[in-house]
Structures are given as C-alpha cells and as structure tokens.
Amino acid sequence: MPLLENDTLARSLSGLAWYARERGLMVSSAEVVEGVSACAALAPHNLGELQSVLTPCFVKSREDLDVFAGVFREYFYNVKTAPVTAVVNAELRSRCGAGEKKAEDAGQSEANRGGREDEPGWRPLLASKRDLPEPFRLYLQGDKHAAAARLVNDPLTDAGRKAIVAAFARMADQIGPADLATIRQTVGEYARLSNEVQKLRAQCAAPAPGAVHVQHADRHRWSQPAWFAADSAPSALLAARVDTLDKEQLALVIREAQRAAAAMKPFFARNPGTGRRRLALDYRRTMHASMATFGEPFWLLHTARHRRLRRLVTFCDVSGSVKKATGILLSFLFGLHQAFEGRARHFLFVSQVDEVTPFFSLPSYDECYRRIAGASGIDFRGYSNYGKALSTLWENHRSAFDYETVVLFLGDARSNRYDPRPDLIRTIQGTVRDAFFLNPEDPDKWGTADSAVRIYEKDIRMVDISRFGNLLRFLNRLPDMLLAR
Amino acid sequence: MKNHSPCGIVRISRAPIPAQWKGGGWCLRATDSTMKNAVISWQEKLEAVAYVPTREICTVLRLAEALKKPVLVEGPPGAGKTSLARAAADVLGARLIRLQCYEGIDVARAIYEYNYGKQLLYLSALRDRVSQMLDGTKSMAESVRILDREVPFWGDEFLVRRPILEALASAGARVLLIDEVDRSDREFEALLLEVLSEWSISVPEYGTVRAGDDPPLVVLTSNRTRDLSDALRRRCLYIWLDLPDREREARIIQAQVPGAGAAFAAKVAEFIAEYRQLSPRHVPSVAETVELACALLATSGRQITSEDIESAIPVFAKNREDAGLCVSAAERVSRNAAS
C-alpha cells in the first residue's frame, strides 16, 4: 500500500495513540498495529473513513466512543471541544511546574524569603522551630528519606498534628495568602508520607501477643447455621442500643462482630468440608474411575458441591450519627473480606463517595480503620447527602452492580433536606439480586423530620439494626443471601 | 512529539497527515474506492438477507473478515446483536454455531467433553479382546503403546465437540456466535482468551486443536449486565449497537414484513420511537417492532389508527404499567399526524 511506504500512516497512528493516551484513552501498541492493518485492508481515503476504520480497533467500550471521537477530532482537525478547559488545564500545569515562582510574582514580602530562590520563605522559619515533631522538621529541610526513617519509630500522632498547627498559627503574620496553597500541599504530602510509612510498618510488624488476628481467626468450624454469634454474645450487649454504646462497649461489640465473622468464614470458604451430606455424585469422575476396573465394581465418586459466592457491595454512611454502627459492620466485613475472593466492594460516603475496598486487604482492622479515616477522600465532618452520594456511586461505579450482586446500604436515611433520589435506590434495587437498607436509628424516629425512610422503604427493605442483637441476626442471614446454590 | 512552552502550555507536534485523508467526502476515483466498495458490498449483501445495517456494522464486519479478529457487539437487549451474527452467516454462506452463555457454563459445556459412558461401554465389550491383545507383551510400556494404537480411548471417537471446538475444528465457512457472554462467569471469559487470540484450544488428553488459516468469524454479544474484562475486549473489534432510529427501523420493517409499504413502516416506526421515549419498563426490541408491524398489517391493513395500536398492545407491552403508555404514545402520534 503506498501509504505505508514512507511509514507516514504508522507515524500518524502512533501520534494519534499517544495523543489518545494523553487524553485518558488507553490505546495499546497492539491496537495501533491493528489500526495500521485495518487501514491497509480497507484503505480509507478521507478522515471520516479513517475514523470509522479506527473506531472498532481503538475503542473497546461504549464510554470510550465519545472520548475517541473527541480525540480524533482534536488530533486530525485540530478542533478543541472545550478550549476553556484546555486553557485551564494548561494554567494548572504551569502552576504546578512553577508554583513557588508565581508566589514571588504575587508580590510576597522579601522578609518571608530565605534559602533557595524557589523555596517559600515560611519553610526555613518553620523548620527552625524546636517544638515541631522531628520528622516534620527534617521533611521541611528537604531531607525526605531521613524524615521517613524517623517516622518509623516516631509516627505522626494527634499531639504532633496539634504542634504543627500551633506552629503555623504562631507565624500567621509571616504567611501571605499566596503561601496557603503550598502550605496545604506540603502538609498533605507529609501526611501521605506518614501514612505510607505506617502501612509498611504494619506489614512488617509481627502481631502483638494476644492480639486477635482476624484474617487468621478461622479456626472454628461453622457448625450452626444461624444464631451462632447472637446466642453466644453477652445478652446485655445484644440488647444495647448501638448509638448509645460507650468506648469500652463499642470495643467489646466490635470484638463480638469479628468473632462472628471468624465463625462464619469457613462457611464462605471454597472447601465446604468433607461431610457426605455436602457431597454430590460426580458423574464424570465416576465413569472415569470405573474404566480402570472395567465397571466392576462400579464405584460411586462424590465431589464437593460447587459453591459460588455472589458479589457483595456495601455503601455505608460514615457521618457522625451512624459511624458506630458503620464501624461494627465494617469490622465484621473486614473479617470476611478475604473469604469473598475479591467479590466484595466497599464504599463510604458522607457527601462524597470513596471506595475503600483496598484497605480491607490490610493485616488488621485497626490499620484498616486508620487508613480509612486518614487516607480516603471522604469529608467526615460534612452532612450526609444521600442523593449526591447515590448519584456519584451509580455514575462512577455502575459496573459494581449486576444481577449477582447483593447490596447493603447502611445509614440513618437522614437527608439533611437534600434530594434523597429514591429513583436511584429503585434503579439499583432493580439491577441487583437483593438490596437491604440497614438503619441503626431507633425505629420510633423513622420518618420524622428529614428522615427519608418512608420514601426509601417503598423500594427497598429497611432493616432495623438499632440494637447489636438485631445486627447480628441480620448478619447471620448473609450466607443464605450470598451463596448461590 | 511534546514540548512545554515557557508559560506551561503543552504543544504537540504531530506527524504529517497523509494528503489523501485531507478534505471530506467520498473519493470518486475508481482506484481509490476500496473502502467504499467493501462497505457497500457488505451493505448490499446484508440487505439481501433482510438485515438493515449501519455503516459501522459494515465496516466492522469487513475488518473482522480482513483481520481475522472476533467482534464484540454490545448494546441494549433487542437491538439486533444476535440477528447480526445470523445475517453474517447467511451472507457468508456459513454454518452458524451458537453458544448461549449462562451462569456456571464451563469447559464441558462450551468446548469439549469426553463421552465417558461410551468409553466404559466399549471397554466392557472389548475386555476379552484387550486381554488377548496384551497377552504376549513383555512390559507395561509395550502394553500401553499397543493400547494407545489399537484402542484410542482419548481420540476423536470419544471426544464430544461442544460449540467452540466444533467451530475451530470443522471445515468450511462458519460463524461462531457466543451469545450473552456477560452472563457467564469471569472464569469462563478466561477460557475464551486462548481461542480468541490464537484460534486454538489445548485439550490435555488430545492435544492442541488449531483453526489453521481459515478461522471462523466469531461474534460475541453482551447486554452489559456486567463489565467484561479488558483482556477479552482487547482481543476483539468493538461495536456498540443501539436500538435503531426511526429511519432505520422503518427500513427494517420494510425489509422484514412482506407487504409493508414505506408510509406504513414509517408510521409504525414513529409510534415505537414515541413509545420508547416514554421510558416504558420493557423497551420493545426490533423483533417486537416487526411483530407489531405484522400484527397491524394482518388486522387493520395499511391504515393504522390508535384503536388498532391499542388492540396490538400484547405484542410489545410486557408490563401492566406499560399498557397505559401505549395509549399515550398512540395519541401523540395521531396528534402529530393531524397537525
């Protein structure tokens, strides 16, 4: 083909692929080769034809169709779909590249300057304060490795955070408005470094003597199908209202929830045990084995019944009013997470939604909880906005829901006068196999004031988990819900 | 390719665009009309078997033919994904081999299985002969060699070919339709990867079966009840098949309903489009539109009134709530016609 002789076609398509990657559309080299082959086969002679030839090769899902059309248009016709966005992005990039220089241009006083030319003036001043945590001082001095090394034995604590805030407050008169962005960035990066160090430390550290290691606490065989945990937990605890638990009771309840999870874990595991009642006749193995004896004797061989787990999605409100109940549920699910073999996804929200599933692979629940509280992008101090959270969940994580999914919503359904979007609950309920709304609020208060319980309960089953016993009773039903028989 | 200007704005230096691509419209030179010819050829052939394609469909089928790659067709239920495979088979004069996917489908249902019952029966029947045959042997290795040669229990005789193996191993033109692949488990998707990229299957007892230079045209369909893996998508050409617009639906009706005129087809298509716009719980498929057209043609001839449509409600409204919407849509169409 003439177009291929001087490799113009290949270079143009490589450029298009590179441009597409820049725009977030992942085009592999194999797909570029495929595109070149497609062009060779069909010989497009104008850009419209070229686009229709390349689309099946470069686009692999419906969401990417529009993206690719935009990329193609921009690359070959040089038409920007959103010039304003492009300018803003370029501006942001230039700020990131030369953020400190911009601060200088903004007319910041020379008194704040010091050290290197591009270094903000508050840095050396702050680093000279003796009451700051040592790792943070090292970090400000630019020695990040030393800071990380010190963080191993001297982690960032609440007292350390307070000291940092106090130090900033003391030098408030020396900080200009233009410094705020860099301060926020520096402190954020330091917090991330601290989190990463703590994560590594937790991975390396041996479990403390006597500590309950939830992921390996699967020694008890699942012997009773229901009410196991509910019967064995202290009765006072079972009757206790979740929202009135004090710190000690909450720790006890979380331990009970973890115990329940540990007891249930083997039930979800792949190997269901060797008891004959769980076995089924395996026709293929029986025939195969009988060939060795010419069918006499004809041994019947059994195999474990194939058990499949459905997928589980949890969507939990973590605003102040329900965070105790959420903590209990998450501790239970943490114990079971590995048994789901990657078939569970967890989302938390207040007004923003964030997926926290990766944290469930951490070695201990405490670590998981700390990472959730510290690292996820959730506005813990905000007001819960069910409508916005549901809409984000549905738009961004639609693939989490299918006919094999069981969804657990947890929250008090207090809408804070925002639109509760019952249509989304209805849509999700219609898409998935089963969905439950676990409500830790006292049932007497359901439907009062800004509660959306009466709206939601038309479309989804409300489950009262205001008492720990109720929650355990519901959790005992999980195996029935999640095992596809 | 990329450099940053002092103000931070990214500049991209592009590779030169081939001169032939500049300027829109079809190229009129006869020697340059390869793609146009290929697409038109597929379009004519598909229309000849009563399937009304879009330009994208024709392009993808031509590419699948040329590149020997499977096609992944996604779209809402009833958009004509399965019919596309059937029509492609008709056009190619190929045998359609269909694998309907479902939850729990496995290698024994989709690819191959050994007929153990038959093996056992043969073994019982031939026991004495086998004993005689092995009487004179001096070692186990020799016995096994003789057994393998004389009684090939793992050969073609006892191998049950399921659709995928059948499509790979058989000769002649064939189209393999893997329908509703999104209903199968993720593990099954992994089983398909070797087939879709290498056109081969490894059977431990038998060996590797390859399609050779003449692989089947493979069409995978998905209703997107779940996300398919990237590995599967990468191996396929992709096309999104939406429900047809009014014009295409009218052409489909004309093509598939004998005796349907252009005006009649346009009216039915308009009604269905209005009805779909009302967001019924069950969105009527193309096949249901064709059934509706058949029903209307049989009962009321070529003039359609809202009463006729109401009497045909059971054909396309499959929910109690949707019946009310039918009346609204019919009234709206009548109003439009009157105005």
pLDDT tens digits along B23-59 = 433 333 334 456 777 788 899 999 999 999 999 999 9
Model pLDDT, residue B19: 53
Stretch 2-31 of chain B: residues touching chain A, C-beta under 8 Å: 4, 7-10, 12, 14-18, 20-27
> B14 and A75: CB-CB below 8 Å?
yes
Mean pLDDT throughout B64-88?
93
* pLDDT computed for residue B21 by the predictor: 52
pLDDT tens for B166-183 read 999 998 899 999 999 988
Instruction: Nearest chain B residue to A95 by CA: give it.
Output: B8
Q: Nearest CB to B226: which of A43, A90, A399?
A: A399
Instruction: Give B222 or A168, the one with higher predicted confidence.
Output: B222
| d(C-alpha A464, C-alpha A442), whole Å | 8
The pLDDT score that the predictor gives to residue A110 is 39
Q: Which amino acid is at B129?
A: R
Judged by CB atoms closer than 8 Å, whether chains meet at B35 and A47 is answered as no
pLDDT digits 0-9 by tens, B187-205: 888 889 989 988 999 888 8
Helix (H) or strand (E) holding B40: helix B34-48
Of A275, A90, A401, which is closest to residue B226 (Cα–Cα)? A401
Q: Which of A413, A352, A344, A418 has the alpha carbon at shortest distance from A379?
A: A352
If you measure CA to CA, which chain A residue comes closest to B225? A402
Taking the CA of residue B68 and the nearest CA in chain A, the distance in Å comes to 11
Mean pLDDT score, B59-76: 92
Q: How far is A41 from chain B (nearest CA, A)?
A: 6
d(CA A191, CA A189): 5
Q: Which pLDDT band, with edges at 50, 70 and 90, does B285 fall under?
A: very high
Per-residue pLDDT at B51: 94
The C-alpha of B183 sits at a distance from chain A's nearest C-alpha, in angstroms, of: 9
**Helix axes B286-300 and B246-256, enclosed angle (nearest 10):** 60
pLDDT of B6 reads 38
User: How close A483 gets to chain B, by Cα (Å)?
Assistant: 14
Chain A interface, best mutation among B5, B20, B129, B184, by max A CB count within 10 A: B20
Residues of A whose CB is below 8 A from B27: 45-46
* 8 Å CB contact of B185 and A403: no
Q: Quote the mean pLDDT of chain B.
A: 83
CB proximity list for A164: less than 8 A, separation 6 or greater: A132, A133, A136, A187
| Other Cβ atoms within 10 Å of B120 Cβ, number | 19
Q: Which of A56, A284, A484 sits opposite B60 (nearest CB)?
A: A56
**How many beta-carbon contacts under 8 Å exist across A and B?**
152
pLDDT confidence bin for B16, thresholds 50/70/90: low
Shortest CA gap A14–chain B (Å): 9
> Helix, strand or coil for residue A108?
coil
Q: How confident is the model at residue A202, as a pLDDT? A: 62
Q: Yes or no: say if B16 and A12 are a contact pair by the CB < 8 Å rule.
A: yes
Mean pLDDT of B300-307: 74
Please return the burial class of B65, using the count of CB atoms within 10 Å of its CB with bins 0-12, 13-18 and 19+. middle
- Using a CB-CB cut-off of 8 Å, the residues of chain B touching A57 are 63, 237
Q: Kindly list the distances between the CA atom of residue B104 and the CA atoms of A431, B160, B190, B204, in Å, as whole numbers in the listed order.
A: 20, 19, 13, 22
Report the alpha-carbon angle B25-B28-B34, nearest 5.
90
Burial bucket for residue B6 (CB in 10 Å: 0-12, 13-18, 19+): exposed
Q: Return the residue in B63, B242, B279 with the most chain A beta carbons within 10 A, the one to mutate for interface testing.
A: B63
Indicate the length of chain B as a whole number.
339
Contact B180, B79 (CB under 8 A): no
The per-residue pLDDT for range B149-159, each reduced to its tens digit, is: 887 878 888 89
Task: Give the amino acid at A393.
Answer: L
Task: Pick the residue from chain B with its C-alpha nearest to A101.
Answer: B7
Cβ-defined contact of B225 to A46 (cutoff 8 Å): no
Token pair recorded at residue B33: 């009309």
Low-confidence residues of chain A: pLDDT under 70: 1-7, 78-120, 199-233, 266, 268-279, 294, 304-307, 338-339, 341-342, 374-377, 484-485
pLDDT at site B177: 96
Mean pLDDT of B333-337: 76
On whether any CB of chain A is under 8 Å from the CB of B189, the answer is: no
